[in-house]
Structure formats: C-alpha cells, structure tokens
Structure 1
Amino acid sequence: MFFKQVKHWFVARANAARWRPIHDWAEARNGQFRMARDGQGFLIEQPKALPGSLRIEWGRSQRAYIEGHELRMRCELRLHSDLQLLILCRQLMEKLEASVFEAYTDTLKTRVDTDTPEEMRWLVMFPKFSQISSKLVRQRFGALGVNKELTAAWLEGELSTLLAQASLDLLPEGQPFVLMTMRGNVYLRTAMAEPSLSKIQALVKVLELACKEAQAVNARLSDRGAWPTTTSVAWQSSRPEEDQAPA
C-alpha cells in the first residue's frame, strides 16, 4: 500500500509538470484545474465561461467505443430539453450502428434500452441528415437528430466549415468523435491518448461554435415539447469532490 501511494505521488508530480501549460491556460481563462486523485487525469471547471459554464475532463474513457483515454467537454446552455442533435465521425457511426442493430435484435433488448448511451440509441431512433452540402464533411461525419430540419440548421453553416477544417488535422479519419446537444447542454467527446494544449484549445473552439449554432437553433423553438426524449445518462462522471484533488 505504501509503495502504491509513493508511485501515485511520483506519477502525479510528473504529470503536474507535464500538464503545467494546460493548468496555466485554464487559470488564464478563470478556470479551476484539478488533477485526479491517482494523478492520471484532470478536470477543468470554468463556471463563468461564455456561452455557458464549461467542464473539460481528460482521463480514462467512459465509453466502450473509445479505447484508452479521452477528452470530454460539456457546456451548459439551458437549451430546450427536446433539442437532441448528434454529429459523429462516420467510421464510428457505422461501427455503432452495427453494434446497436445486433443488440436490438438480441433477446436482451430491455437491457440495451437502459444501458446503451443516447449517442448509440439515437442511431435507430432519429432520422439521419444525409444532404450535407460539404462533400468533405459528408464523407467524414454523420449527422442526425430529432428532425432533419433542426439537424441541418445546426450543422449547415459555420460549424460545417470548422468541421471540414478540423478533419484535415485535428480530427484525423477514424478518430472517435461525438458532438451532441441534449438536456439543454452541448457535449463533445473524442479519443486523446495524451493531453495536448493545442488540441484542447482547438476542440474548445469547435465546442464554442457548436454552442453558438445550437443557441441559434434553440431560438426558433416554441416552449412546447415537440419531440421524443430518452432517459439514460449521457455524462457519466463522478463529482469532483469525490474523485478529484486540487493540483
């Protein structure tokens, strides 16, 4: 036990030095940087961020479709609760579609309904938007949502342009990537073996633009709930005070 604690201390100390640029960047944005208790991950919280409270985590993947480590982000916007839209890399979409189809034809359908995250179940629930104007975006990403009109309004514009640019280097072909609006928030999740400040900064820009476009779509909606909703948890993460310690 003693040697394990010593090992964790050395790992945390080494990672704190490696991640210092990320720590400094977070603080410059009035964010709070915290390392995971085992020193092998971190959390950044920025309550007063614009357009909404921002949470950034890097650590072990919480999704089976991402191996190793991932970067995940959440921006709280208080959007209409039924605004459910999804963009994901095409290879991941095809992989998840095959998995979901197999699961839904299995006798364990009830378990699939309760255990499968939204980004997988939406593949069989919502219509796909296939008329993406950018050929590059159409080749590299899939999009779907509660209806095609809302999906198009979210994607077709500045967000499409930024995704096309990101596909050239930031999001190489085959890298798992998910961008979605749900429960009033916008979420981003992608594989990231090692945390990189430049990549985190670039992905924050993607998230911020996705938030801006989602707010524009949200402004068109009425107060009535017009679309079906799902109930599983999309953001599975322990509370910071339970599994995080200040850096």
Structure 2
Amino acid sequence: MLESLRRLLNKGPKSADMSPLQSWAETHKFQFKRIRDAEGCLIEPVPAAGASRTDSSGDGGWRIEWGDSQRSYITTREVRFTAEVGTPREMLALVLNRELMEAMEKAVFEQYVEDVQTRIDTETPPEMRWLVMFPKLANNELGRLKDRYAAVASIKPWLQLWLSNGLEEALFDTPDTTAASSPVVIVINRGRLTMRTAMPEPDAELLARWFTVFMRIMPVARKLARDWTDATAGGATGTLQPSVWPPARPDEAT
C-alpha cells in the first residue's frame, strides 16, 4: 500500500508530446533540442559552416521556443519566435491584439485606482508599462489592422514604416486562423524582435502559421533597422542568448 502511494505521488503530470514540433523541425532541416530540466523545446536553423553552434545573431539567425509562458498575460504555455534585428537600443515597439491591450489597460487603471503605483513599476510585464509610456498609433495609422490590433512605439515613424512594409499585411492574413481573444504580442526592444502567442500543447500546424508570419516580418525589420541606422548615423549591437524558462522578472526587457 505504501509503495503504491509513493509511485502515485512520484508520477507527476504527464509530459507533453513534443514529437509534432520535432517532426516539423526535421522536415525543414532545422535543429530541434529539448530543454533540459524543463517542459519545452528549442528550434533553430542549422549554423552555416564555420559559425558557432550557439550564434544565431546573424542575418539568418532566429530561434523558436515552446514551453512555459514567460508573461502573466499568457496563462497557458506559449511559443516564442526571437531574432536580433539590429534596431537602436532606445527603440521600443509593441504590437498586440486589441482584446489583450484593453485587458492590460484595465489592469493598469485598476492598479492606479487602488493606489499601488509602485507595483506597476515592479511587478507588471514591461509591455503593460509601455502602453502608458509611449504614444499609440491611431486607427488610420493602423490601416487594415485597426479592428484587430493595437500598437505603441517610442519612435512612431519607424513602426509606421514597418507596418507599411509587410507587418500589416502579414498580420492581416491571420484572423481566419487565430481567435480575436488569443494573445499575440510582437515586440522590438534592445535590438531584438520577439513574437509570442499561446500554444497550450505542441501544435505543428499553429507553429507553421506563425513561423510564416515571423519570416515575413523579420527580414523587413532588419532592413529598416539598417536603413534607420544609416540615416541617423547610429548603431546597435546585441547577442541572442537562450531564454530562461521561468516567468520573466520585472526588470526583464523581453
């Protein structure tokens, strides 16, 4: 009896079947790795000859991670797409589905009403703080995305260029496959592009859809970053380090 109870207690939750994501990665000849000591996986392109296996910061570099959510506004597991794009460190941009934005704004308002402004700076996700720090794009600036998405940026002209050069079109193609209530968040911060959305269980079809979106918006972001840097005589460098799997700390940028 005691041994049966011990086995029951030690059994724990059933592990997720990540074979759909592994099969998708292998079909596309990408690297697939399981995250050690965590319920998750990582997918990357195979490094070019002579390149470091841990370097994915070049023009062809990107990373996909599936696992525990790093943001409180995604209550299930999530899939994250990440790449260095070379934008200046001071440039911040946020594009998210409108339902999530409205929920975030309500949460910020309620925290202020409760007179806990300090908590807003220390416990809320950075994306929530940006909603009250930076100017929003007006509906006419969002174009066809106005009914589904919202956006803020520290440098609005750059975000508007990105929207008109592929981001608007890529996101406009998603409504038929993504519920309006499903969290979708795209961030540019510290030279890095991150796109995240909910994925409770490994789903190769859903992964493929959002990978297509990511691969449409990432090269444009890199090109605009280079053009912007040339025009302003500025620059930005960065490295793409593997994400940690616990939820993000309050001071984490992405």
Normalising to structure 1: TM-score of the pair? 0.77
Who is 1:33 aligned against? 33
Tell me, in whole angstroms, the C-alpha distance in 1 between the residues paired with 2:128 and 2:142. 24
Q: Percent identity?
A: 32
Tell me, in whole angstroms, the C-alpha distance in 2 between the residues paired with 1:143 and 1:109. 23
Pick from 83, 101, 104: which aligns with 1:93? 101
Who is 1:23 aligned against? 22
Tell me, in whole angstroms, the C-alpha distance in 2 between the residues paired with 1:192 and 1:224. 37
Alpha-carbon distance, 1:5 to partner: 9.0
Structure 1 runs (4+) greater than 6 angstroms displaced: none
Question: Greater CA radius of gyration, 1 or 2?
Answer: 2
Query: Do the aligned partners of 2:88 and 2:234 also contact (CA within 8 Å) in 1?
Result: no
* Structure 2, unaligned runs of 5 or more: 48-55, 236-241, 247-254
Tell me, in whole angstroms, the C-alpha distance in 2 between the residues paired with 1:212 and 1:111. 37
Tell me the alpha carbon deviations over residues 34-62 of structure 1, each in whole angstroms, 9 at most, x when there is no partner. 14535x43233447467443222222322
Query: Do the aligned partners of 1:33 and 1:44 also contact (CA within 8 Å) in 2?
Result: yes
Matched to 1:132, the amino acid is: E
May I ask how many residue pairs the two structures share in their alignment? 222
Who is 2:194 aligned against? 187
Query: Do the aligned partners of 2:62 and 2:81 also contact (CA within 8 Å) in 1?
Result: yes
Normalising to structure 2: TM-score of the pair? 0.75
**1:116 aligned to 2:124?**
yes
Tell me, in whole angstroms, the C-alpha distance in 1 between the residues paired with 2:190 and 2:146. 26
Comparing 171-180 with 215-224, which one deviates more in the overlay? Answer: 215-224
Alpha-carbon distance, 1:4 to partner: 6.6
Alpha-carbon distance, 1:116 to partner: 2.2
Alpha-carbon distance, 1:201 to partner: 1.6
Who is 2:11 aligned against? 7
Who is 2:210 aligned against? 203
Tell me, in whole angstroms, the C-alpha distance in 1 between the residues paired with 2:207 and 2:148. 20
Alpha-carbon distance, 1:183 to partner: 1.1
Tell me, in whole angstroms, the C-alpha distance in 2 between the residues paired with 1:180 and 1:33. 25
Alpha-carbon distance, 1:206 to partner: 1.4
Query: Do the aligned partners of 2:40 and 2:68 also contact (CA within 8 Å) in 1?
Result: yes
